[in-house]
A and B are shown apart, each in its own frame.
Chain A
Amino acid sequence: MSIIIYSLLALGCVALLFATVIFFVDKKFKVVEDPRIDKVQEILPGANCGGCGYPGCRGFAEAIVKTGDFSALFCPVGGNEVAKKAAVIMGVEVKEKAPRIAVVRCNGSYQNAPQKARYEGASSCAFAHMLFAGESGCPYGCLGCGDCVSSCTFDAIFMNPETGLPVVIEDKCTSCGACVKACPRGIIELRNKGPKGKRIFVSCINKEKGAVARKNCAVACIGCGKCVKVCPHEAITLSDNLAYIDYEKCKLCRKCVSECPTGAILEINFPPRKTDVKNTNEVEA
């Protein structure tokens, strides 16, 4: 019996000794962490996608609490809602940002840009880009190996087998920008989603001269500059034989869409135009 008591006593003393050591060490080396970091992290989506530019949601929460400035920090997945909640925790005002979406700026489908060669190498856009100009011959166009699809953590992109081009699912895209980084040709751009998802953009990034670009693809931007002239808001610029629409300035009037001779400018989520006749009248006026 006594052996049990002795051992209990001995172990109890040892435990007490270590408990005291731990207590003082804890007091001495305590890491004071802002409790707001945990709070902010709780309201973040927790996808750890890196779309904000920080390593995961924790990193982003730390950055918010450290700077307290929302001008450069934005969680594209959570959007304005999360920004507002975080602002409440931080006790600051936050400006709303227009929601954005990934836009594929190439329309060189199998129909528009017929294949001149067949690629059967590794299914990696990065490698295909290094190796050759592309099946259609367009050195700027989509290679169709799907690096953007595999980079997307939200399942928001898929390859359309009929066109050979990636399609962004509007409801799922969080504009984290992973696909923008994954595309070796820089085809995907994050643009403002627009009211009710309405948006207009030049679906081509080919900088070759018009005739050369047109040879490979029926819907290439040929850099004719008609859209620049017709745009009443000065939203379109032309450089290196390529038109670019500034989504901040664009008022979605659609004049450029009907003016484009190759159909390189796309309009998304607009109601269909009433008649073709009226359409031409509008342009003339």
Chain B
Amino acid sequence: MNGLKTFPLGGVHPDDCKFTSQKSIVSIPIPERVYIPVSQSLGAPSVPIVNKGDKVKTGQLIAKGEAFISSNIHSSVTGEVEKIEDWIDTSGYKRKTIIIKTEPDVWEEGIDLSSEIKREITLSKEEIIQRIKDKGIVGLGGATFPTHVKVSIPQGKKAEYLIINGVECEPYLTSDHRLMLEKGEEILIGTQILMKAIDVDQAIIGIEANKPDAIEHLSKLAEKYKGIKVQGLKLKYPQGAEKQLIKALVNREVPSGKLPIEVGCVVQNVGTAFAVYEAVQKNKPLINRVVTLSGNNIEGGNFMVRIGTPIQKLIDFCGAKLENIDKIINGGPMMGKALVSTEVPVTKGTSGILLFSAEVSSRMKVYNCVRCGKCVSACPMGLEPIVLEKAAEVGNWDLAEKYHVLDCIECGSCHYTCPAGRPLLDMIRLGKNKVNQIIRSRVK
């Protein structure tokens, strides 16, 4: 446990509240209906290839990612496609969703459902990348970037390190922690597969110090695997952000506006490593994921949930009562988004569902900025949130761009630390959105 590393610039220390870290992953029953949105990853929405009334099996391809940055989507249940219509997503806006009425599980042929661990990697580099693409694997840390794009190293670039992100710096969330404890072996094999795909011989698994059992467990297992090292990290938010993690582990800085491959790194979440293991070794598409249900005053737990399960079903299964709940958050408390309805389904990017009562969830009253500069010192990207907020407030998008609004990773450290309760991140997100629009219109 000695020699813990961390990133130097900014960051905050929220209470980690990992109440559910000792609760094993439990599979929840399949609901009567699943709602599978066709847009579950960054990039273009997938194109449905099934029609109303079609019978689908568990693991069958139902929507194809046709654009470069897009991913395949598979049916998470067996049943009949009831309709393909607009259904609300986390924002309350309606998006195209495939609604399937479930029947008893029948799996698509060729999927290995045994629990036996398959260690030997037989596929070649190209086959691995193709398999990852076919099975619809996306980054499970929350950003849902299609993994096959990430592991396809652009020409002229060379990866040196594979970094596996087991940091889970968001308070409350424990899904990655449980996965590391229960599927450690699989994660390491997934790591080896990814190492082969991007052609590197060194991998570092970064884990924060509040998960000593995971560090110990994976370190012990990693002795058997060549080139994989487990590194403990000091507790600091947002250590799980790609750029901060690279800085902490290999002390390299990703230049502004560039991707980690620029400094020879590829970062993948532990959940993604596990999904890659399942896709490559077991031929299983990404149809379920671990979701933490937690919050204040509730029991909570970690659940293996089929994609498309309405959040209400998860809450019911856990036995949580919604009477005193004021806010339901999809994701972690720092970066997650409050939900407008519990009809919203679990998607590939749902890492946790948090239920909070009013006394902890309410935002504080907004006062005038006192120019204390706390947001500036908290920003892990070295930005000036105070300037960006003002720029967005008055609509000065040129200024926002000049002050690198696009480098903001939306970690929320500025808002967390602001003594005046100013909605810094809200306005910066608006600025990012507008500046992105302006830049896109310039290209045309």
Contact = CB atoms under 8 A, between A and B. Distances in A.
Contact of B91 (A116, A121, A123, A131): A131
Contacts of A133: 88, 91-94, 340
A167 B362 CA distance: 29
A127 B426 contact: yes
B430 A130 contact: yes
Interface in A173-212: 208
B92 A122 contact: no
A130 B93 contact: no
B429 interface: yes
B92 A124 contact: no
A121 B430 contact: no
Contact of B429 (A116, A117, A127, A137): A127
Contacts of A123: 366, 423
User: DSSP class of A's interface residues: helix, strand, loop or mixed?
Assistant: loop
* 4 A-B pairs with least C-beta separation: A133-B92, A122-B426, A122-B423, A127-B430
Contacts of A120: 362-363
A116 B341 contact: yes
B88 A122 contact: no
Interface in B403-444: 423, 426-427, 429-430, 433-434
Contacts of B362: 120
Interface of B: 88, 91-94, 337-338, 340-341, 362-363, 366, 393, 423, 426-427, 429-430, 433-434
A139 B427 CA distance: 21
Contact of A132 (B93, B393, B429): B93
A134 interface: yes
A139 B92 contact: yes
Contact of A124 (B88, B338, B340, B430): B430
Given A116-B340, A120-B362, 11 more contacts: A116-B341, A117-B340, A117-B341, A124-B426, A124-B430, A127-B429, A132-B91, A132-B93, A133-B88, A134-B92, A139-B94
A208 B88 CA distance: 13
Contacts of B338: 117
A137 B91 CA distance: 10
A163 B337 CA distance: 27
Interface in A125-145: 126-127, 130-134, 137, 139
9 contacts: A120-B362, A120-B363, A121-B423, A124-B393, A124-B427, A131-B426, A133-B94, A134-B92, A139-B92
Given A120-B363, A137-B92, A139-B94, A130 B429 contact: yes
Nearest to B431: A127
A116 B93 CA distance: 14
Interface residues of A, number: 17
Nearest to A130: B433
A132 B366 CA distance: 21
A133 to B, nearest CB: 3
B430 A132 contact: no
Contacts, number: 53
Contact of B92 (A121, A126, A132): A132
Contacts of A131: 91, 337, 426, 429
A116 B343 CA distance: 13
Contacts of A117: 92, 338, 340-341
Contacts of B88: 133, 137
Contacts of A208: 94
Nearest to B430: A127
Contacts of B433: 130
A243 to B, nearest CB: 21
A126 B94 CA distance: 18
Contact of B340 (A121, A126, A130, A132): A132
A176 B366 CA distance: 31
B180 to A, nearest CB: 33
A231 B398 CA distance: 49
B329 to A, nearest CB: 12
A35 B191 CA distance: 78
Q: Which residue of A127, A133, A139, A208 has the most chain B CB atoms within 10 A of its CB atom?
A: A127
B345 to A, nearest CB: 16
A127 B427 contact: yes
Contacts of A130: 429-430, 433
A131 B90 CA distance: 9
Nearest to B328: A117
Contacts of B427: 122, 124, 127
A126 B93 contact: no
A113 to B, nearest CB: 13
B93 A139 contact: yes
Contacts of A116: 340-341
A123 B363 CA distance: 13
Contacts of A137: 88, 92, 340-341
A121 B93 CA distance: 17
A132 B426 CA distance: 12
A117 B340 CA distance: 6
Contacts of B341: 116-117, 137
Nearest to A134: B92
B89 to A, nearest CB: 9
A86 B424 CA distance: 47
A121 B426 contact: yes
A154 to B, nearest CB: 19
A120 B361 CA distance: 11
Contacts of A132: 91-93, 340
Contacts of B363: 120-121
Nearest to B341: A116
A217 to B, nearest CB: 14
B343 to A, nearest CB: 11
Nearest to B389: A122
